[in-house]
Amino acid sequence: MQKVLITGIAGGQGQLVTRKLLQRERGYQVLGIDRRPWETRPRGVGMTLTDVRKRKFEDIVRRERPDTIVHLAGVRHFKAHPAVRHEINVNGTGRVLDFAIAHGVRQVVVLSSSYVYGALPENPYYMDESFPLNSSRTYPEMRDLAEMDMLATAYLWRHPDITVTVLRPVSILGYHIHSTIGRYLKRDRVPTVLGFNPMVQFIHEDDVTEAIVLAVERGVRGAFNVVGPGAVPLHVAVREVGSHSLPLPEPIVRPTIAQLFRWGLYPFPPRAIDFAKYQCTLDGRRFRDATGFTPRYSLAETFASVRS
């Protein structure tokens, strides 16, 4: 039976992946690590309270010798110090990959995101996997995510004997997960930039889970965009999740957000507002062709999953 180790197993996405793997006919043995406990986990799921930065993590990989590691652990919010984010997201991913190579793991699946491409005015629609990861040009607070992605893709040529799969899903919405875009859209007043309304692609958490499980099942190699049912303008998404947008002129919205972010009253750095100005839309054909993945949830169902 294939043994899968999940880092960040107690998070929303980790729990969903665990349950989906256990439902599969092929049969998987699932174990995981997290800093938070998961007391209601299904029977047979082994779990250790630790962290990708700790030595205990390497002990587990050495002892358990999993066939596959699904790496979901990471810090996505901006309350953490940038050094902590870097340590966990970049160096943590490096450690996962190094241990995988040292202890005979066959495949590592890394969950990256579409944001690594960045929101730039000259972005074409529907970028494929060969596009440069430009996010740090306009959004330095996210540099660690782009670096994590590039570190993982570098292992594709540095260690051709191990299968590395980097998944870059578009904006994820769902009941169980706390995605950045979900927290943004569910604010009472969603700050947007007056005169801008970019197309944003969405995907349901369950479809992302399916994509991760498919990547494990098929053992696909390389970086893949994971795209959901389609794209709508940002303001339509705000309306559909039941919030109200607050369009402000750019010269006002940027300094206001910068100040509120500094005081800890607003959770996203000012540079993130570029994602409310320019589109960052992806082409998901490569993953579809490699695994036969098709999203099961429509846009309406995806919005309904977070509607308040």
Partner 1 sequence: MSTDERRQLARHERRRRVPEERPGPTVPARVDPLVARSQARPPATARTRALTLRSVPALPPPPAPQRSLRDVLRDAASELWEQFNPPLIREINDEVAERLRRVPTQINEYGFDPWGLNIDAVRRALVVTTLMYRYYFRVETFGVENVPDGPVFVISNHAGQIALDAAMIFTALVLEREPPRIVRGMGEFFLPTVPFVNLLMSRTGSVVGTPKNCIDLLRQQEAVIAFPEGIRGMNKLFSERYTLQRFGTGFMRLALAAKTPIVPVAVVGSEEQAPAIANLTQLGRVLGLPAFPITLTFPWLGPLGLLPLPAKYRIHIGKPMHFEGDPDDEDAVIGRKVQRVVDTIQGMLDEGVRQRPGIFF
203 makes contact with partner 1 (CB under 8 A): no
57 makes contact with partner 1 (CB under 8 A): no
| Residues 80-119 as x/- pattern, contact with partner 1 by CB under 8 A | ----------------------------------------
Please count the helices (runs of H) and the strands (runs of E) in the chain. 12, 12
Whole-number Å distance between alpha carbons of 167 and 223: 6
In this chain, which of 7, 8, 9, 15 binds partner 1, going by CB under 8 A? 15
Smallest gap from Cβ 183 to partner 1, in A, equals: 14
73 makes contact with partner 1 (CB under 8 A): no
Whole-number Å distance between alpha carbons of 219 and 70: 12
Spatial CA neighbour of 240 closest among 305, 303, 173, 185: 303
240 makes contact with partner 1 (CB under 8 A): yes
Query: What Cα–Cα distance (Å) separates residue 110 from each residue in 90, 149, 199, 213?
Result: 12, 8, 26, 12
Q: What distance lies between CA 175 and its chain's CA centroid?
A: 15
Tokens 């306009």: give the residue.
138
| Residues 156-175 as x/- pattern, contact with partner 1 by CB under 8 A | -------------------x
Looking at beta carbons only, is 20 or 164 nearer to partner 1?
A: 20
The two three-digit tokens of residue 226, written as one number = 């994971």
Pairing of strands 199-204, 230-233: antiparallel
Interacting residues of 294 by C-beta distance below 8 A, sequence separation 6+: 288
Whole-number Å distance between alpha carbons of 118 and 182: 18
Spatial CA neighbour of 17 closest among 58, 60, 69: 69
| C-beta neighbour count of 260 within 10 angstroms | 15
Smallest gap from Cβ 16 to partner 1, in A, equals: 6
Looking at beta carbons only, is 19 or 218 nearer to partner 1?
A: 19
38 makes contact with partner 1 (CB under 8 A): yes
Smallest gap from Cβ 66 to partner 1, in A, equals: 23
The two three-digit tokens of residue 292, written as one number = 């036969």
> Which residues, 113 to 152, sit near partner 1 by CB under 8 A?
121-127
Smallest gap from Cβ 142 to partner 1, in A, equals: 20
- Is the separation of the CB atoms in 112 and 72 below 8 Å? no
Smallest gap from Cβ 104 to partner 1, in A, equals: 31
Smallest gap from Cβ 301 to partner 1, in A, equals: 6
Smallest gap from Cβ 8 to partner 1, in A, equals: 13
12 makes contact with partner 1 (CB under 8 A): yes
197 makes contact with partner 1 (CB under 8 A): yes
285 makes contact with partner 1 (CB under 8 A): no
Whole-number Å distance between alpha carbons of 147 and 139: 13
Smallest gap from Cβ 40 to partner 1, in A, equals: 5
User: What residues line the site for partner 1 (CB under 8 A)?
Assistant: 10, 12, 15-16, 19, 36-40, 49, 121-127, 175-176, 193-199, 204, 206, 230-233, 236, 240, 244, 249-250, 278-279, 296-301, 304
